[in-house]
Structure 1
């Protein structure tokens, strides 16, 4: 890499193309993302290799393979672009959002959840910062979490992943899920009174691929390792087929349950409650628009929980007095926080 004594704009362009090829895993996939022809993409990669003085990857009939030198360049380029993004965020924080973009990633099944109020949070944030533009992408959970950790997303909204303890997380609401079986699966017709824990645990289990950390032992056991569904709807398709049982969010499974095509297996045993959070990485700690949007998310979802609790029927008075519930303290709005900080 001795040939690269100074970094120019063209070098940044070539590096971005190279990073896209690596992240997409092939030239063909990168073509669609970058809207470039394969010949142009190949020419860019050759130019980058010439500038660096090393070969970065193997490409040809056998596919794309990153070489060790390519791995070093890729990691260095990611660090470089993360630093550029931090600069952009800090510079943008000096103004009112004019011309700046807030990049949000949302896990694939979250928006469909009746407890989700992301649209209301976007609307509330826009009242305070109308000049800030949103870029929103729906993606798989493990992709979203990884991009937040890498600084490629300002805010991620999805199920909290304990494998990334370095990320800051603000709870928004809870997602409920259970293990479901499709109509053609042998366990579908077994009454709950006869359905044992052992029968459920020994059934072939559809897992979530890279995002699987709920039942890793099932994915390692050849007897219970089933298909892989990347995303809630992909997994639902596999469970509907009857080939596997698997965890599905209740709100995703509900329409199929109503049609008699899915059934929850012993929810008293398999019920799982997962917190859905707004997560941010260390790179956005000084980026006020990301922090203000998280504030809007927390405010809107907290208010929704309080209103839901207020509408809930009052339980009968217990014979034994219980401790009083602490009074609800509403977080200050983004506008009030902004005023207090100024």
Structure 2
């Protein structure tokens, strides 16, 4: 039987601490309707009003004050129980739900799983490969790997490594159109572009004569999925700006060529492991994050990368 009582407690605590439903939703990465509906279900189940709503926000009822204290103790007790029984590495057990972007997950995270699972035989992992930004609470995600700049929120994060994107094309495409000497000359190439929530990645940053320049990529082919764009790029159907973890091995193999390396702007973003604040003490979550941090301490693809021109990536 599905039991959402602990989830309801976490949402209720977030509302009280954030000061509003909207702020709570933003702080924990869920939708405002989800927060509102959860509180309504909680009050209906308890048969008590926990919050007085006003145009200025809300305040706790006496029943809400009592329940808040009990909820906090219950959440702490659950986490303490996990920690008490799972102090020693060999005994750590439980299930992890991990959300990872598709390309990075296939290329870099999945190959690490045999080592992690062998090291911790009582831990199971559900690896969710998606280019959607999943809600950690709504989708019951323990850890999410995020690429780029993180929005302001109360979510905790650990930096795994830097993220640099570079502009590349198949060697055959460069042979047909010639090597560009400036971002403006990319106009003679077909490009590959993102759509949906990642459309901002179609603004490619360069530095020309010390000045930032943005090239706006437009394409006959768009996708919301990175591996689809990567495969089209390998097939010679367009120029793409992609993360180095994919680009460098293909460049070393002669399948792709980097364009405008001396004018490529430094990407001021990174790759992170993101998790809810109260989950950091759960041993299996902590171990997985530490394993990721260690695994990406010196990414192999960085060794082959030439220095890029300095400039933050506009968003």
1:210 aligns with 2:197: yes
How far is the alpha carbon of 1:154 from its aligned partner?
A: 0.8
My pick for the range that moved more, 196-205 or 169-178, is 196-205
Cα separation, 2, equivalents of 1:105 and 1:174: 19
Per-residue deviation at 1:75?
6.2
Q: Which residue of 1 aligns with 2:257?
A: 263
Q: Of 273, 280, 285, which residue of structure 1 is paired with 2:275?
A: 280
Is this contact kept in 1: 2:79–2:282, CA < 8 A? Answer: yes
Question: How many pairs are equivalent?
Answer: 234
* Contact 2:204-2:216 within 8 A present in 1 as well: no
Secondary structure of 2:103's aligned partner: coil
Match of 1:166 in 2: 154
**Contact 1:100/1:132 (CA < 8 Å) preserved in 2?**
yes
Give the one of 130, 134, 142 matched to 1:154.
142
- Residues 216/167 of structure 1: CA separation in 2 closer, same or farther (3 Å cut): farther
Deviation at 1:243, TM superposition (A): 4.8
* C-alpha distance in structure 2 between counterparts of 1:125 and 1:241, whole Å: 39
Aligned match of 2:101 in 92, 107, 117? 107
1:228 equivalenced with 2:222 (yes/no): yes
TM-score, structure 2 length as denominator?
Answer: 0.54
Q: Distance in 2 between matches of 1:262 and 1:174?
A: 22
Q: Deviations over 1:259-295 (max 9, x none)?
A: 7654322122236555222221235244343123212
CA offset digits 1:130-161 (Å, max 9, x no partner): 43332222222x33xx3336562111224244
Q: Per the alignment, do residues 235 and 77 of structure 1 end up closer, same or farther by CA in structure 2, a change over 3 Å counting? A: farther
Contact 1:184 1:241 in 2 (8 A): no
- Indicate conservation of the 8 Å contact 2:202/2:216, yes or no: no
Counterpart of 1:60?
none
Match of 2:167 among 179, 190, 194: 179
CA RMSD of aligned residues (A): 4.9
2:125 to 126, 134, 156: 134
Is 2:193–2:217's contact at 8 Å kept on the other side of the alignment? Answer: no
Match of 2:37?
76
For normalisation by structure 1, the TM-score amounts to 0.50
Which stretches in structure 2 are left out of the alignment for 5+ residues? 5-31, 43-70, 206-214, 305-315
SS at match of 1:110: helix
